Amino acid sequence: MTMKLLVIGNGMVGHKLLEELMERQPPGLDITVLCEEGRPAYDRVHLSEFFSGKSAEDLSLVEPGFFDQPGIQLRLAARAAHIDRQQKRITTADGEVLTYDKVVFATGSKPFVPPIPGNERAGCFVYRTIDDLLAMQAWGMHAKRGVVIGGGLLGLECAKALRDMGLETHVVEFAPRLMAVQVDDIGGQILRRKIEELGVTVHTGKSTLEIVDGDDTHHRMKFADGSYLDTDMIVFSAGIRPRDELARQCELGVGERGGIHVDNYCRTRDWDVYAIGECAYWGGKTFGLVAPGYDMARVVAAHLCALLERKHVLQLPEFVGADMSTKLKLMGVDVASLGDAHGTTPGSRSYQFSDERRQVYKKLVVSGDGKQLLGGVLVGDASEYGTLLQMMLNGIELPASPEFLILPTPDGNAKPGLGVDTLPASAQICSCNNVSKGQLCDAVCAGATSIGDLKTITKAGTTCGGCVPLVTQIMKAEMKRQGLAVNNHLCEHFAYSRQELYHLVRVERIKHFDELLARHGKGLGCDICKPVAASILASCWNAFVLQKEHASLQDSNDYFLANIQKDGTYSVVPRMPGGEVTPDGLIAVGAIAKKYGLYTKITGGQRVDMFGARLEQLPVIWEELITAGFESGHAYGKSLRTVKSCVGSTWCRYGVQDSVGTAIDLENRYKGLRSPHKLKMAVSGCTRECAEAQGKDVGVIATEKGWNLYVCGNGGMKPRHAELLAGDLDTPTLIKYIDRFLMFYIRTADRLQRTSVWRDNLEGGLDYLKEVIVHDKLGIAAELEAEMQLVIDTYECEWKKAVTDPQTRKRFQHFVNSREADNNVVFVPERGQIRPATLEEKRSRRIPASVMTE
């Protein structure tokens, strides 16, 4: 049997359906997808991150090549305009007619714009699609103040977006409190205070009558109480309405407040028509969260596959409603609402705790007999959310004094109640992707022993991310149970992680590897722990890496202060801070390369790499480079490589700050800093970002007011955009934050862990990093800065030191007992330079090792 399936809508839920179907690969299924927008599915849950550094591509949900698979066609910018259910035909807005056997409505919602006169003026926006965001962004460039109408969940998300755009931000809410649906009065008050502290002005109980021209601003909003508010732009975020117009037109049956009636299989009254996601109306309501939408997608995928395979399946999954509990972070403020948050269940009792100093509010709603958790509200600190949700969903009996579940513990002891062990295997941990505790445990058994692996394999925590702390707990508990004992030992010689070794070195002021091995290790050490120890010792005490006690720890590159190549020769990279080099400098580099017959290439980090140097040539090459004013570029080290820059405001028409000057300062500040892995930085002089700073471990982008600091980006094998850590910084603050960031990374990262992976594994993620670096939550900022200052104050050019130290210099010869060169090093000419000879070439003609042109 073949089936022509038409899916209308390629939002998050529509796309989930496609993924589910393609994964099952049912035979004979031919899918056509109509997507109204110009781009395929993207992550609307994290839309506001578009303003804090994520690109449209970052938000995309489409795996590369997904729509290139056979049996699926995507039509972008194609809107279904008419449906003829008798003929089973859909007509698009362009007049194209498509026939179907089955059709799925995944049309989502549209923003509700209150019928206020003036709501269609230029400078009034809605917040739903990337195109909406682009329009907001364009207008926001020339705006000073922005207003969000609507103080619900989406409205506050949207306020964050406006604030990230640098606007003075106001929120106008009709109800007497923020997030009226999810939180109660006291919770709403605490939330309001927190949000106002973040510089957002909140107006509650305001009904907007009309929008007119302002005196000096684009708009003036007039309120029912006679007051007014002037603003340059307005964003409506006052709720959503299901997109059910096609269904209405073909009389499919809709709910009183919209939404297409569906049964437990998400079928409409016409069994060839399904509806899923926000446009579906089930059990008297619609569902504005992604998790129930994903559930519906899975239900429909299973149903369609069963039909196709003509199999009688006993237990087809059904949609059975959804728990609407949510946890989110609004502008850094944790807010969570569970179940019956308002205590409307007859006979229910509530417990409340509020702390006005810390601005935390927590409330539990329990059943009359005090045994079951019915709901709750958490504002300011939602760390108990995962536990409470599981207790509620799994009907776990409450302890005798449930109040202790939300009360702070004076002695810092663990709270009573839910260890993850008490959860049944069937407990759904990730509701977005329907992952149970059992599935997580199975994945751990199969070898997923890092949170990254677990996410990749089970998809848990990859959508809204709310369950990641719980997933981590389950992973750790399961590993412990299996006796895997969360082994993060560096190698067989040290039963410690890199982080633990770092602390031992610091706290015990250990200065040498022998000492470290004697006190905390065994055996001789190896090629894993020795370089790690060398790096930690250098990060902490910054002694010369080639001094006698440290020399034998260095990997070959560090040992000879150059990068070993496949034939055993080395490449040499002099430092050119910020990519700036004088003509004389370039001439000197060129002359030296020519003299020693080196192959030269420009690197990605804006400097020159010279290849083909033999061991014994390195010191003489460096003597000449040092004479010409160059220093070691540390291309060989797990250390700061380069700070790339664009030309900046000095020359560029668009530059707003001196990016080259800042790049040079940063490079000179951090040169020689040893770290768990190599570090790259860049500074861009304006938002055009020509230095590609968002692909670096530390990226700095100039703004009109100062600098935006991005961290944890990466190019390479797994590209990752850097994320905004702090905005509009002055230069001293910028440097302070980078000091702290780098030292915190050096303290806590694993061996050979780039900042991007470190960040992905950091519990608490970017918010935690902000707390530590910007708000000094751990109280270690001064310490980190002092540690960095020591490294900076003790910097010495390693090559200068090496060539002037006879003991070190002696090591730079190929033979200990001969002045000859390694005759296996053979070069052949190519494109006017040298390259290593291949094995065949070496066999056929032995040519002299050096191509000296002296």
Partner 1 sequence: MEDVVTAKGWTLVCDLDDIVSNTGVCALVDDEQVAVFRVGENALYAIDNFDPNANAYVLSRGLIGSLGERVVVASPIYKQHFDLRTGECLEAPEHSVRAWQVTLQGDHVLLGQPLR
| CB-nearer residue toward partner 1: 439 or 554 | 554
Strand (E) or helix (H) holding 192: helix 185-197
Min. distance of Cβ 795 from partner 1 in angstroms? 24
Question: Which residue of 30, 323, 555, 616 would you call a contact of partner 1, by CB under 8 A?
Answer: 555
Contact call for residue 584 and partner 1 (CB under 8 A): no
CA distances to 81, 91, 178, 328, 619 from 18, rounded to whole Å, are 22, 21, 36, 27, 61
Residue 492 interacting with partner 1 (CB under 8 A): yes
Cβ 801 to partner 1, closest distance in Å? 16
CB of 553 to partner 1, least distance (A): 8
Note whether 531 binds partner 1 by CB under 8 A: yes
Q: Please enumerate in sequence order all residues whose Cβ is within 8 A of that of 489, keeping only pairs 6 or more positions apart, or say none.
A: 495, 496, 497
Q: Contact between 845 and partner 1 (CB under 8 A)?
A: no
Choice between 86 and 818, CB closer to partner 1? 818
- C-alpha separations of 468 from 289, 322, 460, 473 in Å: 18, 20, 8, 9
> Which window, 45-53, 413-421, 497-505, 518-526, contacts partner 1 (CB under 8 A)?
518-526
Nearer to partner 1, 614 or 754 (CB): 614
- Closest-CA residue to 375 (of 398, 356, 355): 398
In this chain, which of 64, 524, 763, 779 binds partner 1, going by CB under 8 A?
524
**In this complex, which beta carbon is closest to partner 1, that of residue 525 or of residue 685?**
525
DSSP helix/strand/coil, 555? coil
Q: Which residue has the tokens 């992550």?
A: 43
Of 201, 350, 367, 556, the one binding partner 1 (CB under 8 A) is: 556
Stretch that binds partner 1, among 188-196, 548-556, 678-686, 762-770 (CB under 8 A): 548-556
Handedness of CA 241, 243, 246, 251 (dihedral sign): negative
Of 181, 176, 136, which Cα lies nearest the Cα of 154? 181
Judged by CB under 8 A, does residue 564 bind partner 1?
Answer: yes
Among 71, 255, 438, 568, binds partner 1 (CB under 8 A): 568
Cα 572 from chain centroid (whole Å): 35
Least distance (Å) from partner 1 to the CB of residue 278?
53
> If binding is defined by CB under 8 A, does position 846 make contact with partner 1?
no
Binding mask 786-825 for partner 1 (x = CB under 8 A): ------------------------xx--xxxxx-x-x-x-
| 437 CA to centre of own chain | 24
Distance CA 161, CA 447 (A): 40
Q: Name residues whose C-beta falls within 8 Å of residue 90's C-beta, 6 or more positions apart in sequence.
A: 6, 8, 34, 80, 82, 83, 84, 97, 98, 99, 100, 103
Of 320, 526, 586, 782, the residue at the interface with partner 1 (CB under 8 A) is 526
Tokens of 541: 């005490």
Beta bridge partners of 110: 241
Q: Which stretch binds partner 1 (CB under 8 A): 295-303, 355-363, 559-567, 844-852?
A: 559-567
Piece in contact with partner 1 (CB under 8 A), picked from 342-350, 399-407, 561-569, 628-636:
561-569
Distance from first CA to last CA of the chain, Å, rounded? 79
523 or 590: CB nearest partner 1:
523
**Amino acid identity at 290:** V
Number of residues binding to partner 1, judged by CB under 8 A: 35
User: Per CB under 8 A, does 548 bind partner 1?
Assistant: yes
Cα atoms in the Cβ-side hemisphere of radius 13 Å centred on 581: 22
Counting contacts by CB under 8 A, is residue 567 touching partner 1? Answer: yes
- Give least dist CB 797 to partner 1, A: 21
Which residues are bridge partners to 571 per DSSP? Answer: 563
C-beta closer to partner 1: residue 794 or 824: 824
Least gap, CB of 562 to partner 1 (angstroms): 11
CA 391 to CA 323: how far, in whole Å?
13
The structure tokens listed for 759 are: 């960040």
Complex with partner 1: residue 426 or 823, whichever CB lies closer: 823
Which residues on adjacent β-strands are paired with residue 472?
none
Q: Are 353 and 362 in contact (CB under 8 A)?
A: yes
Question: Of 530, 607, 614, 740, which one interacts with partner 1 (CB under 8 A)?
Answer: 530
Beta strands in 380-438 (DSSP E): 428-430, 435-436
- Return the residue of 81, 181, 551, 766 that touches partner 1, per CB under 8 A: 551
Residues binding partner 1 (CB under 8 A): 492-493, 523-527, 529-531, 548, 551-557, 559-560, 564, 566-568, 810-811, 814-818, 820, 822, 824, 839
